[in-house]
Structure 1
Amino acid sequence: MKKISVLNDVMGPVMHGPSSSHTAAPFFIGTIARALLGEEPASATFAFDPMGSFAQVYRQQGSDLGFAAGLMGLPITDETFPRALDLAAEKGIEIRFAVEPLSEADHPNTVEIRMTSRGGRKLSAAAQSIGGGAIQFTRVSQWPAELRGDAHEMLMEVTRTAGPEVLECLKREVKWVGAPERQAKRGLVVLHVKLQSALDPETKSRLRALPGVSQLWTAPPVFFPLRGEPLFASAEEMLALAGSRSLSLGRIALAYESELLGLPEQEVMAEVVRRFEVMRTSVHHGLEGKLPPMQLLHPSARKIFRAEAESRLAVGGIHTRAGARALAVMHINSGGGVVCAAPTAGSAGVIPGVLVSLVEDKGLS
């Protein structure tokens, strides 16, 4: 059963709109692809199956910008995100998007990645956007894989005869989580290890120099690594645990996330507050007069908010203001601005609309 994280799966990601699946996920895929390549990219082709959704919307929903920004190593909220393709060209990175039949397209959001570094290193991989900004790499080079961006990952390709010796060296050199996964094919073996932390350059160089090692790929987490176990797996268990500890549902959720991520509760709360401030900023920005253009609609949240304040609506009150605030966030999202998906970009307005209304209209902390 998948471990559900509040920050990874419910209240996030913080991202440029308009789509968590088609804008944020491509950014995360591009980020991991850059890391797997291991050198500064010179060229990249992102190929989409003609029957998949990427082929239909990659320009309209900013998938091309997400792939390019991730490939360059930009932060996801970088103000230059809308210019990512131009910036890549200025840096001499050739990015191409192709629509062609893919043999691995068993998901509508599948992308095949073909990259070359400035030093001549090559990477072939396949990845999928699986909803709400979540991703998975399903292949690295010739090897089936499962990289979800929630751990420090390392894959080593070695000759079959060198495999045992390399594994013993890994035990001395790195600290891993769980047991290494092993695949074999035509005299080669790939070892897939989840690490407790990123490899330093010196350790990476020593591992690459081991006899029998032909390839080494590493990838950082793009979400919070899951270091612990969930405190509960159902609403019933949550209620029971909250009762036994005399905690509110909010406090037991905080304890859950702290345990799952292996972080102090203060750090988890600080990140929650940071994301709330992203939400509040998107509300305020969406109620301003000058907004980034949307593709199909004209902004209306500001008009509704002002009409409610002037008692010109048949039904007003905090519920109407919350609705207008939620709509304001969606204006920002649709215009490619920065929002906090909750849990997707398509529903990014509801939680901010409610929370900001409670804070600003009811004075809650």
Structure 2
Amino acid sequence: MAGKPQTLATTSAFEILGPVMVGPSSSHTAGALRCAQVAASLLEGRITKATFGLWNSFAHTYHGHGTDRALVAGILGLDTDDENIKQAFDLAREQGLEYHFDIKGDDASIHPNTVDIDMVDDTGATAQVRGESLGGGKMRISRINGVGVDISGMYSTLFVAHKDVPGVLAALTNLLAYAHVNIAFCRTYRTEVGGQAYSVFETDGAPDDTVVPMLRKLDNVDYATFIELPGSASSLSPGVSAKEIFDDGEQLLDACEELGLSIGAVMAVREARLTGEAHAVAAMRRVLDVMREETTAPIANPQRSLGGLIGGEAKLVEATRRNDLSTSLMGTVQTDAVARAMAVLERSATMGVIVAAPTAGSAGV
């Protein structure tokens, strides 16, 4: 096993079994929601107005994939697995959020799943944020108020807006050191010398409640906030790799033989090294519970999809499992598998909670 490159050192199983999300699309629903969720955290007050500029794929499929509901839900602070995402428009009206969708069209120079979010909060502060949904629920913020940035929300992240003057970065790092916040990565973005700047710190864990208020009080700091997305893909600290058991399929089988364990048991050992045993067990239990529900509920209680095109087919397939036709065509086991796969598809299409594995589109398979 020695001598081969270790390329899986930071890949968690829950980057494949996840996120747990409301359907129908990990990129167009969960990823879009997370873009809006992070964008909203960049203003201190309650968002009262949001305009969403939809580009490329978002511009063409936003309604059928629930992207419009997901973006509004993200501004309101809902998480990817909150079934209230369906009622996001009603919740927005109740909470006094004015929203508007601006269909921008196609631009090959930007990411296929791009949204520009213009926001106003109840203090009158404004922000313009560009988000990109990267697939599988992952996202990144690529622009804030015209300044190019790179914020993924994968790790505990401190975001600080400040003036580009000498000494500011030193003051920020000194305060974080005083507060015992360990910095893994730090990047500063700006458009011109002496203008507006943004510093992004990825840290080992969340700072306590006193850190952000102290950062906001520093000279030349305009705003500071802490970003942590619930259910983000990786639980590792940034820049940390866990000792590996294997790096490819051949090595996995070797590990099974050496340790006397099944593939599943080896994966459990590896995940415990990556994220800790307690976290791994709790996360897998959550995945298993949702998978059991998503493969059975639509068969017991069929519902029509968001677009009205499907709903009830899983129950019809499952019903054939008990007759001679099923035995002749696929057999009872295969028929049951198809019925359950279709059940996940139907649940996703009705904006029900599913496990993206690794995307919402492929979860049923």
Bin the TM-score by the shorter chain.
0.7 to 0.9
Residue 225, structure 1, aligned to residue 235, structure 2? yes
1-side partners of 2:180 and 2:124: how far apart? Answer: 28
Which of 152, 157, 160 lines up with 2:165 in the alignment?
160
The 5 Å alignment of 1:18-167 reads 18-49=24-55, 52-100=56-104, 106-156=110-160, 157-163=162-168, 164-167=170-173
Equivalent pairs: percent with the same residue? Answer: 28
Per the alignment, residue 199 of structure 1 pairs with 207
Number of the residue aligned with 1:258 = 272
Q: In structure 2, do the counterparts of structure 1 residues 312 and 179 end up closer, same or farther at CA, with 3 Å as the change threshold? A: closer
1:288 aligned to 2:300? yes
Partner of 1:321: 336
- One-letter identity of the residue aligned with 1:187: G
What is the CA-CA distance between 1:272 and the residue it aligns to? 0.9
User: In the alignment, which residue of structure 1 is the partner of 2:193?
Assistant: 186
Structure 1 counterpart of 2:355: 340
1:86-119 deviations in Å (ceiling 9; x for gaps):
1101110011111236989521101111111112
Report if aligned partners of 2:184, 2:204 keep a CA contact under 8 Å in 1.
no
Contact 2:83 2:351 in 1 (8 A): no
- Per the alignment, residue 212 of structure 1 pairs with 220
The Cα shift of 1:140 comes to 2.6
More displaced, 174-183 or 109-118? Answer: 174-183
Higher relative contact order (CA 8 A, sep 6+): 2
Query: CA shift at 1:242, angstroms?
Result: 4.0
Q: For the structure 1 residues 246 and 306, does the alpha-carbon distance in structure 2 shift closer, same or farther, using more than 3 Å as the test?
A: same
2:264 is aligned with what amino acid? Answer: G
CA distance in 1, matches of 2:121, 2:207: 20
In the other structure, the counterpart of 1:362 is none
Unpaired segments ≥5 residues, structure 1: 351-365
Distance 1:215 1:333, change over 3 A: same
Q: Does 1:238 align with 2:252?
A: yes
Q: Find the residue that maps to 2:210 and give its secondary structure.
A: helix
| Corresponding residue SS for 1:26 | helix
Give yes or no for contact 2:303–2:311 (8 Å, CA) kept in 1. no
- Pairing partner for 1:279 from 284, 288, 291: 291
Provide, for residues 41-87 of structure 1, a one-character-per-residue CA deviation record: whole Å limited to 9, x for no partner. 111111123xx000011111100111111111123333322110111
Listed one character per residue, the Cα deviations across residues 313-358 of structure 1 (whole Å, up to 9, x for unaligned) are 32322121111111111111122211111111111112xxxxxxxx
Counterpart among 312, 323, 335 of residue 310 in structure 1: 323
- Aligned-partner Cα distance in 2 for 1:109–1:87: 25
Deviates more, 1:138-147 or 1:330-339: 138-147
What are the Cα deviations for residues 116-138 of structure 1, in whole angstroms up to 9, with x where unaligned? 11122222211111112111111
Structure 1 residue identity aligned to 2:271: E
Find the aligned partners of 1:322 and 1:152 in 2 and give their Cα distance.
39
Partner amino acid, structure 2, of 1:198: A
Q: What is the root-mean-square deviation in Å for CA atoms of aligned residues?
A: 2.3
Out of 5, 16, 20, the position equivalent to 2:22 is 16
* 1:144 counterpart SS class: strand
| In 2: Cα distance, 1:203 partner to 1:61 partner | 39
Q: In the alignment, which of 294, 298, 301 is matched to residue 314 of structure 2?
A: 301
1:167-218 superposed Cα distances (whole Å, 9 cap, x missing partner) = 3223222513424223453215533211223334432111111112233243
User: Which amino acid is the alignment partner of residue 173 of structure 1?
Assistant: A
**Per-residue CA shift, 1:209-261, capped at 9, x if unaligned?**
11122332431133143224242443344344444433322122222222223
Q: 1:177 to 1:237 in 2, by over 3 A?
A: farther
Query: When the two structures are superposed, what TM-score results if normalisation uses the length of structure 2?
Result: 0.86
Query: Closer, same or farther in 2 for the Cα pair 1:152/1:235, shift >3 Å?
Result: same
Measure the CA separation in 1 of the matches of 2:63 and 2:301: 27
